């Protein structure tokens, strides 16, 4: 990590005033920090391509002096420093190239290309239901397959007066009382930190988003606001519009196995 980076983040983070509840406030602070980091990056690193060209010119001058046997010891040290700087810049440029390639995939990955159609064709063949077992006989007639599939799901999800959904012999397991209480207890800082440290460091919401490596490196600065956002969600159960959200569907394993067997026959 670049020297002074954490100090810069700490200074800027303390100057922000987020708006709204704790979750919205955290989102706004991250937005402000992203803008300031772009300025910091330009001031510290400048234009990498321009710096690379200048370093190559300086190395070329020293190489010419070396060819003429007039390279002094100070010039040799200078040449080694320039080569080290050149390697660092090359690594940064390679990293940017990989990021831009990933961005291009986000933008153009689903366009009308050969790769896209090959992927869709493979997925369609993999998920295709060839036929079903009807009365002990294997049938591949499209109309019969559609009718049996429709009847299967209608039977499974037909509402009843006593339960609401008919799942046959599927039985739901329940959690012990102590574990049930732990599911609604307040999150601790250790739990949240452990969850952050278990995530892949390079994962981020987008090509220019904050990844988990950044969050771990700046945890001492961010943890107070992160914990306030987590506790706010636990108390209200509300994630403001514009923040990250996920939808989780729980489907019994027995039901999935039955559907899988029908699709594989």
| CB atoms inside a 10 Å sphere around CB 243 | 13
Kindly tell me the sign of the dihedral angle through the C-alpha atoms of 37, 38, 43, 46.
Answer: positive
Instruction: Indicate the DSSP class of residue 165.
Output: S
C-alpha to C-alpha distance for 52 and 170, rounded to whole angstroms: 65
Q: Higher model confidence: residue 104 or residue 29?
A: 29
Could you give the C-alpha distances from 54 to 48, 59, 67, 79, 82, in angstroms and in order?
10, 9, 20, 13, 10
CB 18 within 8 A of CB 234: no
Per-chain mean pLDDT for the chain = 80
Q: Which helix (H) or strand (E) holds 24?
A: helix 22-45
Average pLDDT over residues 52-61: 88
Average pLDDT over residues 28-35: 91
For the CA atoms of the chain, what is the radius of gyration? Answer: 29
Orientation angle between helical segments 48-67 and 73-108, nearest 10 degrees: 150
Q: Which of 8-17, 63-72, 194-203 has the lowest mean pLDDT?
A: 63-72
Does the pLDDT value for residue 7 go beyond 60?
A: yes
Instruction: Indicate the DSSP class of residue 188.
Output: P
What pLDDT is attached to residue 4? 82
Number of H helices, E strands in the chain: 11, 2
pLDDT band at 264 (very low <50, low <70, confident <90, very high): low
- In the numeric block, the tokens 């994630």 are attached to 239
The 10s digit of each residue's pLDDT in 143-186 is 888 888 888 888 877 766 665 566 667 777 888 888 888 777 88
C-alpha to C-alpha distance for 167 and 193, rounded to whole angstroms: 39
The 10s digit of each residue's pLDDT in 209-244 is 788 889 999 999 999 999 999 999 888 888 887 776
What pLDDT is attached to residue 210? 85
Does the pLDDT value for residue 263 go beyond 60?
A: no
Q: How far is CA 118 from the centre of its chain?
A: 25
Could you give the C-alpha distances from 145 to 148, 158, 175, 265, in angstroms and in order?
5, 20, 39, 11
The 10s digit of each residue's pLDDT in 60-91 is 888 888 888 777 888 888 888 988 888 888 88
What pLDDT is attached to residue 109? 60
What pLDDT is attached to residue 211? 84
What pLDDT is attached to residue 193? 92
Structure-token pair, residue 138: 């294997």
pTM: 0.54
Average pLDDT over residues 17-33: 89
Q: For the chain, what percent of residues have pLDDT higher than 90?
A: 14
What pLDDT is attached to residue 160? 61
């Amino acid at each position: 990590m670049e020297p002074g980076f954490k100090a810069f983040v700490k200074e800027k983070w303390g100057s922000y005033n987020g708006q709204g509840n704790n979750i919205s406030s955290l989102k706004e602070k991250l937005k402000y920090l992203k803008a300031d980091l772009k300025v910091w990056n330009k001031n510290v690193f400048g234009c990498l391509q321009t710096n690379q060209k200048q370093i190559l010119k300086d190395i070329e001058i020293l190489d010419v002096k070396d060819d003429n046997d007039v390279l002094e010891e100070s010039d040799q040290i200078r040449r080694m420093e320039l080569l080290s700087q050149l390697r660092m810049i090359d690594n940064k440029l390679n990293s940017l190239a990989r990021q831009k390639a990933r961005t291009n995939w986000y933008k153009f990955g689903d366009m009308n290309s050969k790769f896209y159609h090959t992927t869709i064709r493979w997925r369609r063949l993999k998920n295709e239901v060839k036929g079903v077992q009807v009365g002990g006989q294997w049938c591949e007639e499209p109309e019969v397959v559609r009718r049996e599939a429709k009847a299967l799901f209608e039977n499974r999800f037909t509402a009843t007066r006593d339960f609401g959904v008919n799942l046959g012999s599927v039985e739901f397991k329940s959690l012990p009382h102590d574990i049930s209480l732990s599911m609604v207890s307040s999150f601790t800082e250790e739990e949240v930190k452990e969850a952050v440290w278990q995530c892949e460091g390079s994962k981020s919401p987008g090509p220019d988003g904050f990844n988990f490596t950044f969050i771990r490196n700046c945890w001492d600065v961010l943890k107070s606001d992160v914990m306030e956002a987590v506790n706010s969600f636990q108390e209200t159960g509300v994630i403001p519009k514009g923040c990250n959200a996920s939808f989780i569907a729980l489907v019994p394993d027995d039901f999935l196995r039955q559907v899988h067997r029908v699709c594989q026959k």
